[in-house]
Every structure is written in structure tokens, then in C-alpha cells.
Chains A and B, each alone.
Chain A
Amino acid sequence: MNFKMKFVSMVIVSLFVSNAAFAVISSTSAEFFDSTTEGTSSTSNSTKKIFSQNDKDRLEKFVDQNFDRLQEESARGQGVLLTDYVNLVGCDNSRGVVTKAMHDNYGMLFNSGKNQLVNQTEKLINSNSNLARACETKS
């Protein structure tokens, strides 16, 4: 390494390490290599439990990181994250039925807070035969 590069390197590194967040691993995820955590959610069964524990964990992680924006997009009735949520739930939203239902039932879904969103979504789907059908067909 020539002098110029050494010097420039020292300067740049000093700046880099002054903000250690740049290089810190913050999101290493083994999930990508774990086939059991992927796939669409299960269909409803006789007890009307739409989500398995795995599904719930994944949904709750998604909700935890995106709740505020999900709230905004549900109030609006559209958005990338809202569609992602509906896809994660395992619903077929090709006609916009599910996102529309989330918009129409905004208060019921969101006014109980972040921790209840997944359960409230389950209740909403169970309460409406059209939604139940839309959320059975995808998987």
C-alpha cells in the first residue's frame, strides 16, 4: 500500500469507527436457511385457528417492526406493507377484498394496540365468510 492510500485509509477509518453502527451486524438471520419458517400460513381448521404458532411468530415479528406504517396503510386501505401483511396471513387479495376489510374494520383491528393485531385479524377473518374463503384459498 503506497503512502497516499495509507494516509487516506487512516482518515477514512477514523471516520468510520466514529460511528460504529456502520459495520455492526444488526440483523443476521438464520431464517433464510431455515425452510421450516417459510411458506404460506396454514388454512383454517375445525377450531377456526387460522394461524399456527409459527405463523403467529412470523406475523408478530412483522407487526412489531411495521405497526405504525401498517396502521397508516390500513386506514388508507392500500399500501405495500398492508399487502405484505395480508400475504403473510395467507389470504388471496387479488380482488382487494381483504385490504378493503382491514380498512373498513380499522377501529376493531388497531384500537386494541400492537399486541392484539394478529388476534384481531384472526377474529375478523372468522367473522366473515367471504374473508374466510379468501384466506383459505391461497395456501
Chain B
Amino acid sequence: MAFAVGGPLPAPSTSTSLPDEKIILLSKDKLWLRLLHLSVPYTKVISSGFYLSGSLDPLAELRVNLSRALGDSSFRCKFPARDQWLRSQFGELSFPDAGAASGACAEYDSWRGSQVVDSISIVYPDRNVQTSLGVFSHTFLKLNLARWPRSSNLNIALGFAAELDPNEPFVSLVSKGLFGGYVAQFTFSNYYTEVNRYGESESRDIFEYDLKFSKSEIDFLLKHMWELQDADFQYYFLSGNCSYHLLTLLEIARPSLDLSSGFDYVTVPSTSLRVVLAAPDLVGKRHWIPGKQTRQNLMVARLSEPGRALYRELRYGGLAFYSDLFSARGISAEETALILDLLAESTRGRSDLALLRGEVLNYRSQLPVGGDVVALEFPSENPETAHGVELISVGFGQDSGRSDTWAQLRYRAALHNVLDPPSGYFRDSTFELADLRVRYYGSREFDGSSFTLLNAVILQSVTEDQFPISWRARSRVNDFLSRAVWENSGGVGFSKNFSSVSVSLMGLAETFMDSREKAGVGVFAGASVGLGFNLFEMLRVQASLDRLSALQSVREGNYWQGEVSVGYSKNAAFSIQSSLVSSWRERSLILEGLYYY
């Protein structure tokens, strides 16, 4: 690279002849600040060479950049977007001929000539519960190259990621993650790598939204990406994360956009996607790539009953494979192909089924070409139909043994309860963070208020040959306005889905610490059975019954606790929920109206 960066910088020799007032004014220009990544918190570049003035002062940076652009024709080789912006803003000045440094800019010019990007999409893999971060999902961009079809997996994925040391101590990880202790960069990969990761390995549906950027907007963004190829950033898990930085890129491509300003503290990918979707005239066509499990479900749904039975016998029942089997069972040629395609998919990566897979593929290749796996219509359940991450609610209730009722105000920071509207979320699971409930009794006292740090019930259905673990965990402080009882519970077990019903069975452990009692510590162990039911997407019923025995406690030895809850919603913004809770301490009934945003 011919352009020298870093180290001591000469004084901007031409700065005295530049129009100072205009420079001062333009140093505050929105796009200039965005190009420097100084317009919003958490985004400054930390690697040397990006700020030519050696400081984070936009005015000093403008002076030096302008000086360089005026005096060095190779400036555009390193900073083509800055160069374009400076030329557009200082038309009265005499810049070097853009073609003068064609030799020095050979690397850049060659890259621009070879990487023609036709369009850009924003990509959102659907949530999943297999990883604790999959519940929040992820966003990245897809650069659709002119040389490949738009649907090609050879296109380029553009993301933002940090480099962590998995062996780093937990406390260090947390503090570094919160306060920008990790280094991150914009990253490029083949789109097929991302499709394999999210769609195949993690079985998540992938949603793509084409962005209606003009050629010049795309061109300007690519120029800026060239400027950023060696740029390091601080990574903040909550604020300066992947989604936040992608928003800043979109704002550079189209300066009239204001997408990132609402995310000063926390940027959740699904929320950032909603902001993009809501921006005027930004999002065009929508596309969908079904994840592995969705695709297999769709294929199974297309099979006749005999076809489905034969598939199960071959896949799970150990039935020997031979080519005449299908005609002997009266299966049509078209359905035979579909069964073979399904068998091939469902035996992928299974060394114990490699022989069957080989036979299936060889036979399939002897049948006619064809058989689209699924029709790729955009599903009615998608990120746009998902409820907001945060909620507030108003509720009323009554406890056993008290005549007065209470009112409750509630705020939940994230994310989803199985009683909430299910569209766009994991169906049978709950994952809630920072749930604050304040209760006020008719007798003019605050009591029964609680703060739940985490409430997770993650159900993963067992299948014929897979037994994923289901688990639950909750950490909650009860009655924190009076005496404070800290409860922690956890459990592991199995669950099974039957169409709209889920059943779970788990072993449980529970502890409590009561700040007002001597030796106010309890340790319990037991078991739990759960039942979930979903009716017409509008009505959810959830029931659980726990039996716990004290290993150490100042209170009762053994007890039952149970809960029956109902949630009703007609859209993603509101729901009504009611719960009847019974434990060794109390029985209470609550009715809530919830608003998601």
C-alpha cells in the first residue's frame, strides 16, 4: 500500500489557506462523523492509522485529511470514501486528478473492478434455544455480487465480531465484555459458511431483507469498507455489538437514515432489525431460507400416510433398503424421490447411518432430476410478527389468607415467556431476564414484590433417536421491599412435543435464603412435571406441579407447589394472562394485561 499512515504527522501545510469557518462547520457534519465512527458512543476505531491526526477530534481530523487529499493523489487509495466526501464538500478547492494515482491505487482499483456488488440484504437467523445467545439471535449483511445470482450462497456475508479467549476467567470475560475490553473487526465470509452454521448446524430459519440502496449508496459503502479493512474496534456485548455496528454502516450508505440513535445502552438484534424494517423506503423484497428442521418438517408434511410410514421404517426402524421396496408398497415415483430426499437429509452427518445414506443417494441419482424440496414462500410467522423484547404490565391479584387485593406494576427487560404471543419466538420455552414486579396492597403496604434475574425453561423435544436435555433455572429475590428472600432453583430432564401439546419431566433442586430468619436457609430436591398447550395461536395454557423434599430447612420438610397459567393474545402488542400459583408459602391469583414494545 503506497499510502503511509501512523507515526508523527507533519503539520497540515495547506490548512492556513483553507476556509476555516467552513471546515469548522463541516467537522460537525453527520456523515463526516459517521465516516470517522465518532458520531455515536462505542464505535471509535482503536487501531493506529485510521485517524490521521492521531486524535479523536473531528476538526483536527478534517484538517489533516483535507490537507492530504489536496496534496497527495494516492489519498483515495487508502480512504476512498473520505476522498469522495471531501471532494463533494469542497468543490471550490483543487483536488488532484482522481486518475493521477492509478498506478499507486492499482490494488484498490483492481478490487473495485472485481468486486461488483449489485445489492445488499440484511440477514436475520431466527432465534433458537440451543445456545444462550441464540435466543437473542444475530444480524449481518449479505453483499450480493453481480457475478452470482442473488440467491447464490457464493455471495459475501459481512458481519462484526470480536475475538474472545474461551479460556479467559469468567469475571474477566464479563468485565471486558461490558467495558470494551475486546477487539473486534468487520468480517467477511462466504455466505455458505453462515448458511451452514445457522441453517444447517443450528437448524434456524434465515430471513433476508433486501435493502433498497442505489448503486451510488452501495458504492460509497464499499469504499468505506475498504477504509475499514484494518480497523479494530472495541467490542461491547450490549451496546457496541454486531447489530449496532451494522446500523452505523447502513447510516453511512444513506446519510438520511437515523437507525442507531435509540440504542445507547443495549442493542438486541431483533430490535435493531425492527428499526431497519420500519425505516421509510429502506427494505424491499423479503426472502426465506428454511432451516434444516423446518425443511424436513415440510417434506414430511408432503408425504402420504403410507409414504410417511415407510420413511419412518427406513430411518428409525432398521428396515433393509432395496430399490423395489417403494413400488412394492405402492409408492409413486414422485413420492419415492421425496422419501429418498428426506432420508438423505436426515441421515446427513450420521456415521451409524452412512450405509443407508449411500444406498439412498445412489438410488436417488437413478431417478429423474427434480423435486424441489419446498416452496420458499415467505412464512406468515417471521421477525416482523414477533412481539417486542421489553414489556410492561398492570395486574391485580389476591393472596390466600388476606382479604385485601393488590395491584401490580411490572417491567421485564427481556425476552419471552411461553404465555406470550408465540409468533417469531421459540414455541415451548421461556427465557426471561430482569423481571421486576412491585405490588401494592389495599391495606396500603408494599409486599410480595419480586425481582427475577433469570427465568428460563428450555424445552427441547426428544425424537426417535435424539435425546436433547431440557432444563430450567430461576434466580429471584422475593419480598425485597420488606425482608428479602433469595430463591434459586434449577432442573434438568426431558420433554416431548405432541403437535400443540408439550410434556416435560425434570429433576429439581431449590434453595432459599431468608434475610430475617436465623439459619434461614433451605435446600430442597425433587421432581417436576409440566404440561403446555397451544390453541389456535391465540390461547396458551401452561401447568406445572413440583414435589420437593427438604434436605435442610427450618420450615416444612416436604411440600407441593403448582402453577396453572393462561395467556391470550390476538396480536403481538398485547396479551392478557392469568396465573394461579400455590406454594408452601402462599396461594395467589393474578390477572395481568401486558404490553410489549
Question: Is the Cβ of B454 less than 8 Å from the Cβ of A13?
Answer: no
* A124 at interface, CB cutoff 8 A: no
Question: Assuming A81-B192, A103-B365, what are 13 further A-B pairs, CB within 8 angstroms?
Answer: A13-B238, A14-B174, A15-B454, A16-B177, A19-B131, A20-B164, A23-B237, A31-B188, A32-B115, A32-B143, A65-B192, A80-B151, A106-B362
Known A12-B238, A23-B182, A68-B349; judge A28-B187 contact (CB<8 A). Answer: yes
**Closest-CB distance, B233 to chain A (whole angstroms):** 12
Q: Which of B63-71, B369-377, B511-519, B524-532 lies at the interface?
A: B369-377
Which residues of B sit under 8 angstroms from A4, Cβ to Cβ? 413, 434
Question: Is the Cβ of B114 less than 8 Å from the Cβ of A11?
Answer: no
Q: Which of B317-325, B340-348, B587-595 lies at the interface?
A: B340-348
Which residues of A sit under 8 angstroms from B114, Cβ to Cβ? 35, 38-39
B105-127, CB < 8 A from A:
107, 110-111, 113-115
Question: Is the Cβ of B164 less than 8 Å from the Cβ of A9?
Answer: no
* B156 at interface, CB cutoff 8 A: yes
Question: Is the Cβ of B369 less than 8 Å from the Cβ of A78?
Answer: yes
B327-350, CB < 8 A from A:
337, 340-341, 344-345, 348-349
Question: Is the Cβ of A11 less than 8 Å from the Cβ of B131?
Answer: no
Determine the residue in chain A with the shortest Cβ distance to B238: A9
* B364 at interface, CB cutoff 8 A: yes
Q: Which of A8, A13, A32 contacts B156 (CB 8 A)?
A: A32
Which residues of A sit under 8 angstroms from B166, Cβ to Cβ? 20, 24
Question: Is the Cβ of A25 less than 8 Å from the Cβ of B162?
Answer: yes
Question: Is the Cβ of A27 less than 8 Å from the Cβ of B414?
Answer: no
Question: Is the Cβ of A81 less than 8 Å from the Cβ of B153?
Answer: yes
Which residues of A sit under 8 angstroms from B498, Cβ to Cβ? none
* A119 at interface, CB cutoff 8 A: no
Per-residue CB proximity of A55-68 to B under 8 Å, as 1/0?
A: 00000001001101
Name the residue in B197, B345, B372, B413 with the highest tally of chain A Cβ atoms < 10 Å from its Cβ.
B413
B139-167, CB < 8 A from A:
143, 147-149, 151-154, 156-158, 161-164, 166
- 15 A/B residue pairs, CB under 8 Å, sorted by A: A9-B238, A16-B132, A16-B237, A20-B173, A22-B131, A26-B161, A35-B110, A35-B111, A68-B349, A69-B348, A71-B361, A75-B344, A84-B154, A106-B362, A106-B365
* B538 at interface, CB cutoff 8 A: no
A70-88, CB < 8 A from B:
71-72, 74-81, 83-84, 87-88
**Closest-CB distance, A29 to chain B (whole angstroms):** 5
* A127 at interface, CB cutoff 8 A: no
- Expressed in whole angstroms, the Cα–Cα distance for A53 and B84 within the complex equals 37
Question: Is the Cβ of A87 less than 8 Å from the Cβ of B152?
Answer: yes
* B57 at interface, CB cutoff 8 A: no
Q: Which of B107, B177, B365 contacts A107 (CB 8 A)?
A: B365
Which residues of A sit under 8 angstroms from B173, Cβ to Cβ? 17, 20
Interface residue tally on A, bucketed by range: 35 or more
- Expressed in whole angstroms, the Cα–Cα distance for A5 and B147 within the complex equals 46
**Closest-CB distance, A130 to chain B (whole angstroms):** 16
Which residues of B sit under 8 angstroms from A11, Cβ to Cβ? 413, 433-434, 453-454
B263-307, CB < 8 A from A:
265-266
Which residues of A sit under 8 angstroms from B241, Cβ to Cβ? 23
Name the residue in A7, A17, A27, A79 with the highest tally of chain B Cβ atoms < 10 Å from its Cβ.
A17
Per-residue CB proximity of A85-97 to B under 8 Å, as 1/0?
A: 0011000000010
Which residues of A sit under 8 angstroms from B197, Cβ to Cβ? 26
Question: Is the Cβ of B237 less than 8 Å from the Cβ of A87?
Answer: no
Which residues of B sit under 8 angstroms from A83, Cβ to Cβ? 149, 152
Q: Which of B115, B237, B371 contacts A35 (CB 8 A)?
A: B115
Determine the residue in chain A with the shortest Cβ distance to B188: A32
- Expressed in whole angstroms, the Cα–Cα distance for A10 and B454 within the complex equals 12
Determine the residue in chain A with the shortest Cβ distance to B191: A84
A103-139, CB < 8 A from B:
103-104, 106-107, 110
A31-64, CB < 8 A from B:
31-35, 38-40, 62
Per-residue CB proximity of B225-241 to A under 8 Å, as 1/0?
A: 01001000001011001
- Expressed in whole angstroms, the Cα–Cα distance for A79 and B148 within the complex equals 15
Known A18-B132, A62-B192; judge A77-B369 contact (CB<8 A). Answer: yes
Question: Is the Cβ of A66 less than 8 Å from the Cβ of B192?
Answer: yes
**Closest-CB distance, B319 to chain A (whole angstroms):** 20
Question: Is the Cβ of A75 less than 8 Å from the Cβ of B361?
Answer: yes
Question: Is the Cβ of A110 less than 8 Å from the Cβ of B361?
Answer: yes
* B20 at interface, CB cutoff 8 A: no
Question: Is the Cβ of B361 less than 8 Å from the Cβ of A17?
Answer: no
**Closest-CB distance, A30 to chain B (whole angstroms):** 8
Q: Which 3 pairs across A and B sit closest by C-beta, in order of nearness?
A: A77-B369, A106-B365, A27-B189
Which residues of B sit under 8 angstroms from A88, Cβ to Cβ? 154
Per-residue CB proximity of B66-104 to A under 8 Å, as 1/0?
A: 000000000000000000000000000000000000000
Which residues of A sit under 8 angstroms from B151, Cβ to Cβ? 80
Determine the residue in chain B with the shortest Cβ distance to A23: B162
Question: Is the Cβ of A22 less than 8 Å from the Cβ of B371?
Answer: no
Which residues of A sit under 8 angstroms from B113, Cβ to Cβ? 35
Q: Which of B187, B371, B433 contacts A27 (CB 8 A)?
A: B187
- Expressed in whole angstroms, the Cα–Cα distance for A68 and B337 within the complex equals 18
Question: Is the Cβ of A17 less than 8 Å from the Cβ of B237?
Answer: yes
Determine the residue in chain A with the shortest Cβ distance to B433: A11
B174-202, CB < 8 A from A:
174, 177-178, 182, 184-185, 187-190, 192-194, 196-197, 200
Q: Which of A19, A78, A84, A104 contacts B132 (CB 8 A)?
A: A19
Which residues of B sit under 8 angstroms from A30, Cβ to Cβ? 188, 229
Question: Is the Cβ of A22 less than 8 Å from the Cβ of B133?
Answer: yes
- Expressed in whole angstroms, the Cα–Cα distance for A7 and B368 within the complex equals 60
Which residues of B sit under 8 angstroms from A77, Cβ to Cβ? 365, 368-370
Determine the residue in chain B with the shortest Cβ distance to A22: B133
Known A15-B132, A24-B162, A35-B111; judge A74-B365 contact (CB<8 A). Answer: yes
Determine the residue in chain A with the shortest Cβ distance to B453: A11
* B536 at interface, CB cutoff 8 A: no
**Closest-CB distance, A55 to chain B (whole angstroms):** 13
- Expressed in whole angstroms, the Cα–Cα distance for A3 and B466 within the complex equals 43
Known A23-B162, A72-B348; judge A17-B365 contact (CB<8 A). Answer: no
Known A23-B161, A72-B341; judge A13-B369 contact (CB<8 A). Answer: no
Which residues of B sit under 8 angstroms from A103, Cβ to Cβ? 365, 369
**Closest-CB distance, B337 to chain A (whole angstroms):** 8
Question: Is the Cβ of A29 less than 8 Å from the Cβ of B190?
Answer: yes
**Closest-CB distance, A25 to chain B (whole angstroms):** 4
Which residues of B sit under 8 angstroms from A27, Cβ to Cβ? 157, 187-190, 193-194
Determine the residue in chain B with the shortest Cβ distance to A74: B365
- Expressed in whole angstroms, the Cα–Cα distance for A122 and B178 within the complex equals 52
